[in-house]
Amino acid sequence: MSEENVNAVRAFLDASKRRDMARVVELVDPNVELHGTVGGVGEGRVYRGLAEVIREYDEVDGEAWEERRLEPEGFLDVDDNVVVMFHEFRRGKGSGVELELDTAAIFTMRDGRVARMQGFMDPAAAKRAAGLSE
């Protein structure tokens, strides 16, 4: 297991949660890509560059969700990828509807920095996409 990659992803998630943009900039490739969540409404979309990625996160969080928490529950290192298993909690803005689900994301690393992110509604699909068996 590449502890460096896992530690970089952990640091990225922590800095993102704290909105520490100076630290986020240190941890992502300048040409970072966010690919829409497989199985989600944004599937097929690609956001390029940190400014575009941040704008997408802010729009998703600000428009639909009053509260959104992503709690990492496991990290799997596969070559240049780190698969993160998440437990998500969301509360709808206005509706107050609460949603809890398990999801995953693959973080592709380049030179110790996050170069690509892809979410998955189905954690098993993320594992398969990274070349892992369930």
Going edge to edge, which strands form the sheet with 46-48? 46-48, 28-38, 113-120, 98-110, 81-92, 65-78
Q: Assign 33 a pLDDT band (cuts: 50, 70, 90).
A: very high
CA dihedral (126, 34, 85, 107) in degrees, to 10, reads: 80
Which tens digits make up the pLDDT trace of 64-113? 778 888 899 999 999 999 999 999 998 988 889 999 999 999 999 999 99
pLDDT of residue 53: 85
User: What DSSP state is assigned to residue 131?
Assistant: T
pLDDT of residue 117: 97
pLDDT of residue 1: 47
Please, what CATH class does the domain formed by 3-129 belong to?
alpha beta
Q: How far apart are CA 84 and CA 108, in angstroms?
A: 11
Q: How far apart are CA 74 and CA 82, in angstroms?
A: 10
Q: How far apart are CA 27 and CA 35, in angstroms?
A: 18
pTM, two decimal places? 0.91
Asked if pLDDT for residue 134 goes beyond 80, the answer is no
Asked if pLDDT for residue 127 goes beyond 90, the answer is yes
117 bridge partner residues: 34, 107
Which tens digits make up the pLDDT trace of 50-61? 888 888 777 665
What is each CA distance from 7 to 11, 45, 71, 109, in whole angstroms? 6, 27, 16, 11
Q: How far apart are CA 82 and CA 60, in angstroms?
A: 23
pLDDT of residue 28: 96
Which tens digits make up the pLDDT trace of 77-89? 999 999 999 999 9
